[in-house]
Structure 1
Amino acid sequence: MSIWLRILPYIAAVALVAGALFGAYHHGVTVTDAKWQGEWNARDARDATAKAANEASERAKEQARQLSVNKAIQDGQRSIDQATADAAAARASADSLRGAADSLAARLAASQASGNSCTAAASQAATRAAMVLADVLKRADQRAGDLAEAADQARARGLTCERAYDGIAK
């Protein structure tokens, strides 16, 4: 046992030095971890600030785009309404043209009834031709009006879409 008593102070000294070295190492790790944690926290704060600024910027851009689209839609609706009003005015004008064609056909039919028997057959053929021509004119005019209205509205819708796209693409 006496050997243990002699080496016990050396063992205690080695344990004390090892404990001091471990304490110094642990303190260094703690200081380094705290330093890195502070840098990470600062980076996270910068990232959060940049994210908030980016979101605000993108929100402002989105609102500007939406305002541009809304304006394009309002302008387009005004164009469509104008095209519809123009078509209604054209229909009213065309109705008077169709009325004149009907009136002409009716006069021809009346003049045929009061004509000579010699020219009755020729007059009857001319009257039928005039009535067919008046009917074709009315139908062609009506169809042209319908097509013009559809084309005007399609153009207005296309221009509206184009303006909305241009507003978004900026």
Structure 2
Amino acid sequence: MSAIWLKAIPYIAAVLLVAGALFGVYHHGVTVTNDEWQAKWNERDARDEAAQAANEAAERAKEQSRQQAINKVVQNGQALIDTAAAAVTAANRESDRLRSAADGLAGSVSASQAGGNSCTAAASAAATRAVMVLADVLKRADQRAGDMATVADQARARGLTCEQAYDALGK
């Protein structure tokens, strides 16, 4: 039996050499294929990263553009509010002048009615009180109108600013 094994050794060695060669070729083919796919994946990953960077840059540019538009709207809105505040200041000066005139009128009426006979004194006192009440009502109405105008002007300016900011975001 040992003679059979001795005669079979070269055949077994040849089969092992052929099997080893085939395994080597197979392994080389797998390695080459894996390297080719890895190169393709690396190329795809690089393209994806470049596209992502481009998209981020475009979105940042849009965001900066929108922020600049909103900043401009805020500046314009503040200018409207400042203009309204200046108008309120001017209106308050005029209102103060009107109230002073009403106080002066009430004072002059009471001073002119103070002299005279006793019969007309009671009527004069009633007329003086009526003028003073009218002057007080005029002052309060003027003050309230000024307050309401101030609130309305500021609300309008803020509303316009909000509307412009919304429109700027839509671009």
8 A contact 2:114–2:124 mirrored in 1:
no
Q: Which residue of 2 aligns with 1:24?
A: 25
User: Greater shift after overlay, 126-135 or 1-10?
Assistant: 1-10
8 A contact 2:66–2:168 mirrored in 1:
yes
What is the aligned-residue RMSD (CA, Å)?
Answer: 1.2
Distance in 2, matches of 1:12 and 1:129, equals 135
Aligned residues: 170
- Does residue 79 (structure 1) correspond to residue 80 (structure 2)? The answer is yes
> Greater relative contact order: 1 or 2 (C-alpha under 8 angstroms, separation 6 or more)?
1
* Post-superposition CA distance 1:62-90 (Å, at most 9, x none): 11111101110111111000000000111
* Post-superposition CA distance 1:127-165 (Å, at most 9, x none): 112111111110111121112112101211121122112
Distance in 1, matches of 2:142 and 2:75, equals 31
Q: Give the TM-score taking structure 1 as reference length.
A: 0.95
User: How far off its partner does 1:116 sit?
Assistant: 2.6
* Post-superposition CA distance 1:32-53 (Å, at most 9, x none): 1111011111111111111111
Distance in 2, matches of 1:134 and 1:126, equals 12
Q: Which residue of 2 aligns with 1:117?
A: 118
Aligned letter for 1:30?
A: T
Distance in 2, matches of 1:116 and 1:169, equals 78
Q: Give the TM-score taking structure 2 as reference length.
A: 0.94
Aligned letter for 2:104?
A: S
User: Greater shift after overlay, 117-126 or 31-40?
Assistant: 117-126
Distance in 1, matches of 2:103 and 2:91, equals 18
8 A contact 2:77–2:158 mirrored in 1:
yes
- Does residue 151 (structure 1) correspond to residue 152 (structure 2)? The answer is yes
Aligned letter for 1:65?
A: R
User: Greater shift after overlay, 132-141 or 1-10?
Assistant: 1-10
Q: Which residue of 1 aligns with 2:66?
A: 65
3-state DSSP of counterpart to 2:119: coil
Distance in 2, matches of 1:44 and 1:4, equals 57
3-state DSSP of counterpart to 1:115: coil
User: How far off its partner does 1:112 sit?
Assistant: 2.0
The percentage of counterpart residues that share the same residue type is 69
Structure 1: 4+ residue segments shifted above 6 A: none
Q: Which residue of 1 aligns with 2:162?
A: 161
User: Greater shift after overlay, 75-84 or 2-11?
Assistant: 2-11
Q: Which residue of 2 aligns with 1:42?
A: 43
Q: Which residue of 1 aligns with 2:95?
A: 94
